[in-house]
């Protein structure tokens, strides 16, 4: 009797594991989709996920609240200081090299990426993966990429992207990816250009919600909707940046020996100690709308001081203010009307998190969650062992799962 009971338990456990491995996992990013955009009543498909799955009050980005750092944090479980993509643009003072999201060769250079991304973890454990545009997915090392991926093409039609995902899911079972991520930029693009409260941004919100509906219907049409765990999130939020809140930081420092790198919500300063000390005093005495820190003084709650690429001095603008240099400040220039990258504790910088599928609770609303906890959640959903050297914690997010 004991033997038969144990045998039944073993068989039952095996069947559960096999069944759970049949679930697909799709991770969708709506760049720059602020936490409160759904309250505009423009998102029937997100509302559908809310009713049938999980909705968080907000998703807190890692600092700085920029696109590439947070997309990498989501798929590595690491803060930017640890995965090394500390900004959309990086200056390496030791080599003089630059990383920029607009530089294809830099974006594909593996030396910049220090964390293990979810598709790397999954591939090591026999899971087929795919990515339809995601920062870090184009690395020039085959084993560090998803099994299937697309090189980023900004103007690629959104429905074409969704159809590409659906085609992957129609592949023969032994070639079909179990994990796929998918990216859309338009809400961020319009938020920058027109501001977060504009009609243009509202229309962008409607556009991505509509494309989400296209994905959900497509999963139904190919007959696998019940086997898909779907997560929809954003990397950060957006705030208004009026032209009346522009600060010329170069004018305050007034020292050509100081290298100023960055603009907008924050800048890094590099130079010799005497020059840096002088710049620090000038910035403190200016009493402008920003905070200034020696690298060692950056507050611990930012998790942003233990990386060699961070400036000797770091200047962070108050919400909505823009730090610019002489070349950025041009008379009659039309400045960006929205931006992000500010203090990640400010609610304007928070994004969204929605999830639906056989592994998630239904009609379950939670408070704010941290984006570094998503990587261990993805590993749990894929039934794989996560990289152990991460900042994220499964125990801080697993309560959204059915047990």
Do residues 60 and 215 lie in contact, with contact meaning Cβ atoms separated by under 8 Å? no
d(CA 53, CA 48): 8
Active site residue 121: no
What value, to the nearest 5°, has the Cα angle with vertex 309 and ends 308 and 311? 100
Distances in Å between the alpha carbon of 206 and those of 28, 42, 87, 295? Answer: 16, 6, 29, 41
Residue matched to tokens 């190919």: 222
Structure tokens belonging to residue 380: 């749990």
Residue linked to tokens 């997010």: 397
Are 391 and 63 in contact, with CB atoms under 8 Å apart? no
From 43, 67, 76, 129, active-site residue: 67
- Distance of CA 219 to CAs 21, 169, 187, 224, 337, Å? 18, 9, 24, 6, 37
**27 near 181, Cβ under 8 Å?**
yes
Beta bridge partners of 60: 370
Exposed e or buried b per residue across 347-385, where buried means at least 16 C-beta atoms within 10 angstroms of its C-beta: ebbbbbbbbbbebbbeebeeeebbbbbbbbbbbebbebe
Q: What are 369's strand-pairing partners?
A: 59
Active site residues per annotation: 67
């Amino acid at each position: 009797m004991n033997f038969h009971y144990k045998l039944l338990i073993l068989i039952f456990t095996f069947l559960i594991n096999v069944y759970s491995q049949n679930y697909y996992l799709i991770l969708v990013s709506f760049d720059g989709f602020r936490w409160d955009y759904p309250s505009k009543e423009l998102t029937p498909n997100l509302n559908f996920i809310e009713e049938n799955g999980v909705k968080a009050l907000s998703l807190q980005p890692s600092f700085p609240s920029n696109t590439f750092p947070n997309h990498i944090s989501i798929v590595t479980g690491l803060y930017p200081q640890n995965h090394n993509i500390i900004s959309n643009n990086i200056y390496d003072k030791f080599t003089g090299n630059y990383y920029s999201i607009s530089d294809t060769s830099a974006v594909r250079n593996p030396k910049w990426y220090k964390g293990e991304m979810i598709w790397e973890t999954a591939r090591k454990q026999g899971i087929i993966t795919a990515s339809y545009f995601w920062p870090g997915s184009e690395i020039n090392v085959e084993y560090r990429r998803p099994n299937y991926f697309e090189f980023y093409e900004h103007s690629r039609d959104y429905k074409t992207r969704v159809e590409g995902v659906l085609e992957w899911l129609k592949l023969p079972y032994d070639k079909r990816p179990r994990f796929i991520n998918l990216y859309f930029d338009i809400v961020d693009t319009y938020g920058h250009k027109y501001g977060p409260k504009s009609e243009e941004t509202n229309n962008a919100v409607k556009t991505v919600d509509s494309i989400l509906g296209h994905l959900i219907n497509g999963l139904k049409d190919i007959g696998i909707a019940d086997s898909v765990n779907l997560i929809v999130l954003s990397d950060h939020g957006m705030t208004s940046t009026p032209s009346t809140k522009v600060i010329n930081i170069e004018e305050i420092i007034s020292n050509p020996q100081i290298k100023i790198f960055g603009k907008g919500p924050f800048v890094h300063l590099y130079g010799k100690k005497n020059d840096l000390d002088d710049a620090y005093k000038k910035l403190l005495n200016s009493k402008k709308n920003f905070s200034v820190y020696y690298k060692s003084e950056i507050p611990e709650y930012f998790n942003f001081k233990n990386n060699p690429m961070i400036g000797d001095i770091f200047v962070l603008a108050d919400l909505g203010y823009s730090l610019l240099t002489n070349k950025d400040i041009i008379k009659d220039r039309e400045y960006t009307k929205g931006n992000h990258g500010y203090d990640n504790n400010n609610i304007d910088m928070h994004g969204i998190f929605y999830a639906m599928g056989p592994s998630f609770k239904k009609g379950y609303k939670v408070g704010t969650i941290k984006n570094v906890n998503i990587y261990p959640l993805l590993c749990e959903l894929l039934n794989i062992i996560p990289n152990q050297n991460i900042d994220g914690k499964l125990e801080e997010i697993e309560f959204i799962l059915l047990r």
